[in-house]
Amino acid sequence: MFGLQPTHIIIILFVALIIFGPRLLPELARAVGKSIAEFRNVARELQKPVQDIADDVREIGAPSK
């Protein structure tokens, strides 16, 4: 995950706990999780048309039998 080691993740979580407090942290984690999921969905949607075009180009460039 972005080249982070487990120690780095623990430090980041500890700092977030200090800054946001134990009551706000679960809500913040849910929001971050939803944002990551939405980002992945958008990336998948953008990748599909590009892949379709690449497949078409390969078909056109392939030798016919």
Q: Give me the DSSP letters along the chain.
A: -TT--HHHHHHHHHHHHHHHHHHHHHHHHHHHHHHHHHHHHHHHHHHHHHHHHHHHHHHHHSPP-
Kindly tell me if the per-residue pLDDT of 5 is higher than 80. Answer: yes
Phi, psi dihedral angles at 49 (to 5 degrees): -60, -35
Residues 6+ apart with CB under 8 A from 17: 25
pLDDT above 80: residue 7: yes
Q: What is the pLDDT of residues 31-52, one digit of tens each?
A: 989 999 999 999 999 999 999 9
Q: What is the pTM of this model?
A: 0.57
